[in-house]
Structure 1
Amino acid sequence: MTANPPSRIAQLRQASVAMLDGLTPAQQRCQSHPELSPMLWHVGHVLFMETYWLAERVFGDARITDAWRDLYVPEISAKDERSARLPDADALRAWAAEISEHNDTCWQRARDMAHPLLADGYLAAFLRQHYAQHLETMRLVRAQLALAECDPAAIDMRAAAPDTDFTPLAAHAVDIGTASIDAYDNEQPVFTAYPPTFAIAERCVSNAQWLGFIEAGGYQNADWWDADGWAWREAAGIAHPQHWRALTNGWFVFAPGSTDIANAPVHGIGWYEARAYARYAGARLPRETEWEAARRVGVLTDVEQVWEWCDDAFYPYPGFRAFPYDGYSLPWFDGGHFVARGASVHSEPEIRRPGFRNFYPPTHRHIHAGLRLAST
């Protein structure tokens, strides 16, 4: 059972509402990227979903959720239609205060209830993670807003060769997944995997090493790319990571707060790009079971800096059972979503665990994802 009490939800609520601070009304309402919703929507959505699962699903009270369902339920509210329908920040803050008080009362009442969603603290853990995941997404929104308005200047960075410092792991049995109440359905049930002998890089690929890929013609050489990835690259005109800008005197790399940009892990790349780099480097991406095995024995030295693309399409573990609803994982076992592991600098503690699985289409580049190399 998780050690975090339900009061952690109050902290996560406050952190979510605070994401509006320092943004202009236009920025609060702006859709900064086609795959990101406006900041106002994210704040309303997380509060709505807490109310949905607690007040509506546990107590059968849909008075609040009925009024906002068509805006804050993603399946019935298209991303590009959300901005114009959102309340302003003052109204949303006032609503958030009312909802927080209402939900705190519900949590107090829930202490004495027997309900499947409340057993062993499951619902509180589920909602903490939902808040945590959206807080990371809100930080991505802020990053895109800042990137759009920054004054790019070239940094001093020289291209580097791919890292050849790999740690071997002998074939062994390893338990994969998460057994605690915090686990999402796609992390369960825990099963035993038997990865054969492999080697994995101690560090993630750096910005300087990615510059080496660019200078070697990485975005021009189809031999390093999957056929689908090359077709996407040509159609989209992709020539560098999403957070980079090509200048006449070098490269601008958007990395606020970083003091060593050249050696920091590259991010802003999709799965297709990660696979192409791995081929250029004479290596491959780690498989999910390899990554988790390496993480659990502690041979990865810079985890939780960027999400790390794995070679696998998102798939159900043996004995998978959708819970608490079909929509979190089941629709994405479609062969078109790929796994990223490890958390990032934007991640909350709730999802910084070895078994947590993130998953995205191979073209998503706005996420804070990079890669680590592996070999057989």
Structure 2
Amino acid sequence: MNAVHPLSNASEPGLMERLSVQHDRLNAALLATPEHEWRNQYHPDLSPMGWHYAHCHFIEAVWLHERILGEPPPARRDWHDLYFPEQSPKWRRGGRLPPRHSLLEWGRACQQHHLELLRAHPEVRRHPLLENDYLTGFLAQHHAMHLESLEQVRWFARLQHPEAGPVQTSETAHRPCNDWIECPGGEHIAGSDSITAFDNERGRHTVRLAPHAIRAHPVTNAEVAAFIEADGYHPGPHWDESGRAWLEQTGVTAPLGWGRRSDGTRVQTLPGGTQRLEPRAPAVGLSWFEATAYARWVGARLPHEHEWEHAAQAGCLAGTGQVWEWCANPFQPYPGFRPYPYDEYSLPWFDGKHYVLRGGSAWSDPLLTRTTLRNFFTPDKRHVFAGIRLARDL
């Protein structure tokens, strides 16, 4: 673990309160999960809901007790080798969890104790990681990410048993839109030095943008439905070689969660249930392969993350924070990158196999929707609440 990192900004107000909010959300999520669901693994990439709850409190304990106060880990078989992801295969996690009432009781005790340490323990408060409450914000964001992952698990639980009865009619203010915003190009200062910025966001630096245009709104369900009706999911020139291989391997024919009723009605299953597909809403449940193929099909491309960030900070983008938006470029370090607060947060994923997503989703906490935050996944992932925003060269 690195001991020092330049944290230039003062503490953001309310970071302790934001961590407490995430604690409350974790408790509510576990309580709202049916007994028959919280131990189950619904997808190979995702852990059981109860594990996410336990892991968040475990991570707090590791940072505070082991890494800051130097205490040895508890002598328990279900400690490091269950809650450290690299030591516990996802398929083994659910069956090793304690009973839910014990888990909740332990979690609440951890929350109270850890907040007291963060607020008042002299040795904790003096540690470099608590400068400007950095660690407090880091933990709050870590929990927010796992809470979004928990919603992804809930999504797959719903997909196993989509409602067979009358579908809900969703209501949304989103409108299909084909408006393009032209950018003449020029310099953009990318990155952030905020106290809440992750290591991969840090290092503000100037990039030069070529002239381009970017869509004001994300691609809608109606637009993706037109792609499907035009046989867009059949291999063609709009699919590159890796995309065609993925398409043939998976047999995918629509975004994750889409279906049809016997009367021809298109429906969509989301974490909250099944509803009639809303044509005007941003499409969600798309891999990078699908997003790229759709963009080529309409004669456009995905934006580079710097183009996306420039437009977002200029206030040009509408509909952000509804779906994570795939960018064209792989996840790479910014100039002068230094891993922090530990090497494995970002460093292993600069492998050329992960692509950047921006903006946040309807299931993201506001902590994760800032314009500089860089999410990243491999191009085959469909469960990450991702959609499409288009760009093109000028």
With structure 2 as the length reference, what TM-score do the two structures score?
A: 0.89
Does the 8 Å contact 1:167/1:199 carry over to 2?
yes
Instruction: Work out which of the residue numbers 310, 314, 327 in structure 1 matches 2:344.
Output: 327
Pairwise CA distance, 1:185: 0.4
User: What 5-or-longer segments of structure 1 have no aligned partner?
Assistant: none
| Residue range with higher mean Cα deviation, 326-335 or 90-99 | 90-99
Pairwise CA distance, 1:11: 2.2
In the alignment, is residue 252 of structure 1 matched against residue 267 of structure 2? yes
Instruction: Write out per-residue CA displacement over residues 270-317 of structure 1, whole angstroms, 9 at most, x where no aligned residue.
Output: 000000000001000000100000001011011110000000110000
Pairwise CA distance, 1:65: 8.3
Pairwise CA distance, 1:217: 0.9
Measure, in 2, the Cα distance between the counterparts of 1:91 and 1:4: 30
Does the 8 Å contact 1:29/1:38 carry over to 2?
yes
Matched letter for residue 290 of structure 1: E
Does the 8 Å contact 1:25/1:88 carry over to 2?
no
Measure, in 2, the Cα distance between the counterparts of 1:371 and 1:311: 11
Does the 8 Å contact 1:56/1:62 carry over to 2?
yes
Does the 8 Å contact 2:141/2:367 carry over to 1?
yes
The alpha-carbon distance between structure 1 residues 7 and 167, as it changes in their structure 2 partners (threshold 3 A), is closer
Specify the alignment match of 2:7 in structure 1.
none
- 1:1-376 matched pairs, under 5 angstroms: 1-64=11-74, 68-110=79-121, 113-152=125-164, 164-248=178-262, 249-255=264-270, 256=272, 261-376=278-393
Measure, in 1, the Cα distance between the counterparts of 2:331 and 2:362: 23
Instruction: Write out per-residue CA displacement over residues 314-366 of structure 1, whole angstroms, 9 at most, x where no aligned residue.
Output: 00001111111111111011111111100011111211100000000101001
Does the 8 Å contact 1:70/1:76 carry over to 2?
yes
Measure, in 2, the Cα distance between the counterparts of 1:164 and 1:349: 27
Pairwise CA distance, 1:5: 3.3
SS in structure 2 at match of 1:253: strand
With structure 1 as the length reference, what TM-score do the two structures score?
A: 0.94
Measure, in 2, the Cα distance between the counterparts of 1:372 and 1:155: 27
Measure, in 1, the Cα distance between the counterparts of 2:122 and 2:71: 17
Does the 8 Å contact 1:51/1:65 carry over to 2?
no
Does the 8 Å contact 2:355/2:379 carry over to 1?
yes
Measure, in 1, the Cα distance between the counterparts of 2:169 and 2:232: 21
Instruction: Write out per-residue CA displacement over residues 142-162 of structure 1, whole angstroms, 9 at most, x where no aligned residue.
Output: 2222232222568999xxxx9
| Residue range with higher mean Cα deviation, 215-224 or 307-316 | 215-224
Matched letter for residue 125 of structure 1: G
Matched letter for residue 247 of structure 2: R
- CA root-mean-square deviation: 2.1
Instruction: Write out per-residue CA displacement over residues 238-267 of structure 1, whole angstroms, 9 at most, x where no aligned residue.
Output: 111111124442422225588971100000
Pairwise CA distance, 1:38: 0.4
Measure, in 1, the Cα distance between the counterparts of 2:249 and 2:60: 40
SS in structure 1 at match of 2:194: coil
Does the 8 Å contact 2:221/2:277 carry over to 1?
no
Measure, in 2, the Cα distance between the counterparts of 1:345 and 1:171: 30
SS in structure 2 at match of 1:254: strand
| Residue range with higher mean Cα deviation, 144-153 or 215-224 | 144-153
Measure, in 2, the Cα distance between the counterparts of 1:71 and 1:200: 44
Does the 8 Å contact 1:154/1:251 carry over to 2?
no
Measure, in 1, the Cα distance between the counterparts of 2:85 and 2:144: 17
Matched letter for residue 372 of structure 1: R
Alignment size in residue pairs: 372
The alpha-carbon distance between structure 1 residues 122 and 154, as it changes in their structure 2 partners (threshold 3 A), is closer
| Residue range with higher mean Cα deviation, 147-156 or 54-63 | 147-156
